Amino acid sequence: MKSEGIQTPTLDEVEAELARQQALTDELRRKAVEVRSREVQTALSEIQAKVLRYGLSVKQVFGPIKAQLQGEPAERKDGRQVRRRTAPLPKYQDVIGNTWSGRGKQPRWFSDALAGGKSAEDLLIRR
């Protein structure tokens, strides 16, 4: 069954169209970068003008965001620092590599190991 009037493009035609589309995509990306750059510049100018107009400090403008960006502990509204909690170190480990800190509900692998005859001391990580 041959369709009348429908032509399949040649490899050269497909490659030419692909090159044309790639050039259009590159041009659009370049324009997007230019537009974003202009918008960022406008936003910065507006922000700087408002900061100067209202006499705002860096802390007032950025507050906890600045601390988070710089990896510093955040502050509460009363000025005290928020203490970051770190994950507890694992205390128990099985042969597969499952770990448990010993806090909270026992994981299934730990319960199964105890039911299988192992003791908690057998699963203890030796440091």
The two tokens of residue 70 are 């710089």
The verdict on residue 1 lying in a domain is no
Residue range of the domain that includes 37: 11-54
Same domain, yes or no: 46 and 70? no
Contacts with 98 (C-beta within 8 Å, 6 or more apart), sequence order: 107, 109, 110
Structurally, the chain folds into a number of domains equal to 3
pLDDT tens-digit series, residues 45-75: 999 999 999 998 887 887 767 556 666 666 6
Residue 113 buriedness (CB in 10 A; 0-12 / 13-18 / 19+): buried
The verdict on residue 28 lying in a domain is yes
Specify the pTM. Answer: 0.42
Cα distance between residue 91 and residue 88, in whole Å: 9
| pLDDT score, position 8 | 92
Same domain, yes or no: 117 and 99? yes
Cα distance between residue 43 and residue 68, in whole Å: 22
